[in-house]
Structure 1
Amino acid sequence: MIKDDISDMLTRLRNANMVRHQIVEIPKTKMTLAIAKILKEEGYILKFEEFEENKRNFLLLCLKYNGSKRKPILTTVVRISKPGLRIYVNHKNIPQVLGNLGIAIISTSKGVITNHTAKNLGIGGEVICYIW
């Protein structure tokens, strides 16, 4: 059984990107669904779909590539807050990723949002990961 769904999701994305897979299957939870929505909104994946198999729910994420050499759009995924060490920031210390070229996904009281949205709303939370 998977103890850390977020790390599992990010590792599956990273591995699928390295071998240039088109689709990656991820177990569905509220958090993985929220992260998938953010990845779709920010343009890191083409789309995602939910499906059920043997009474278990999964997400299918369609990865995005550039050009004929299929260069990945999603180049780096870094997990920041882990189950053993949670990393929290207030609204004054929200991180900028790669000079605002990447995003930080933050779990806040308003839901799971990007660092740009959190900065605009003036709220902090737990920094889940950096993506660029």
Structure 2
Amino acid sequence: MDTLSQMLTSIRNAQMARHRWVSVVFSGLNQRVAQVLYEEGWIAQVQPGMKHDLHIQLKPKRIQRIWRISKPGLRLYSSYQHFPKVLGVLIVSTPKGVMTHHKARELKVGGEVLCGVY
């Protein structure tokens, strides 16, 4: 299992268990995805940990569903005109960085659709 899938599963499990904080493995992609979740208001805070981990503070009952779309065995790429339709937000890895599908549409860039949240 890749680190992004581990992070999303940890967030989902901590949310269901009503935990306030969750620690996940640190990686550049995990940090950028967590930063996008913070900027969009899905999580309360992101802090780097002492060792190789990342501490994420969750908002109570904020995330209803979070799932991985593009997987290591099956990558999903999309142009900015053809992003899948979802209730919430898609997080996309583009040549201009990791961002939401709304921002990618504004900048007219496509990329790999990493995950979705609502």
Tell me which interval the TM-score lies in, with the shorter structure as reference length: over 0.9
Partner of residue 86 from structure 2, selected from 76, 97, 122: 97
Partner of residue 81 from structure 1, selected from 70, 73, 81: 70
Q: Which runs of 4+ in 1 moved over 6 A?
A: none
Q: Secondary structure at the match of 1:113?
A: strand
For structure 1, list consecutive stretches of 5 or more residues without a partner in the other structure.
66-71
Matching of residue 41 in structure 1 with residue 36 in structure 2: no
Matching of residue 111 in structure 1 with residue 97 in structure 2: yes
Superposed CA deviations along residues 29-77 of structure 1, whole A, max 9, x for unmatched, are 0000001101110111110110223xxx211100001xxxxxx101101
* TM-score, normalised via structure 1 length: 0.86
Question: Root-mean-square deviation (CA), in Å?
Answer: 0.9
Partner of residue 13 from structure 1, selected from 11, 14, 17: 11
Report the Cα distance in structure 1 between the residues aligned to 2:15 and 2:107, rounded to whole angstroms: 32
Please state how far the C-alpha of 1:94 moved relative to its aligned partner.
1.8
Normalized per residue, which structure has more helix?
2
Please state how far the C-alpha of 1:96 moved relative to its aligned partner.
3.1
Q: Secondary structure at the match of 1:20?
A: coil
Matching of residue 123 in structure 1 with residue 112 in structure 2: no
Report the Cα distance in structure 2 between the residues aligned to 1:104 and 1:47, rounded to whole angstroms: 19
Q: Secondary structure at the match of 1:26?
A: strand
Q: Secondary structure at the match of 1:117?
A: helix
Q: Secondary structure at the match of 2:85?
A: coil
Report the Cα distance in structure 1 between the residues aligned to 2:35 and 2:86, rounded to whole angstroms: 19
Report the Cα distance in structure 1 between the residues aligned to 2:95 and 2:67, rounded to whole angstroms: 22
Q: Secondary structure at the match of 2:18?
A: coil
Report the Cα distance in structure 2 between the residues aligned to 1:64 and 1:94, rounded to whole angstroms: 27
Structure ID, larger Rg: 1
Corresponding letter in the other structure for 1:20 = R
For structure 2, list consecutive stretches of 5 or more residues without a partner in the other structure.
none
Sequence identity of aligned pairs in percent? Answer: 42
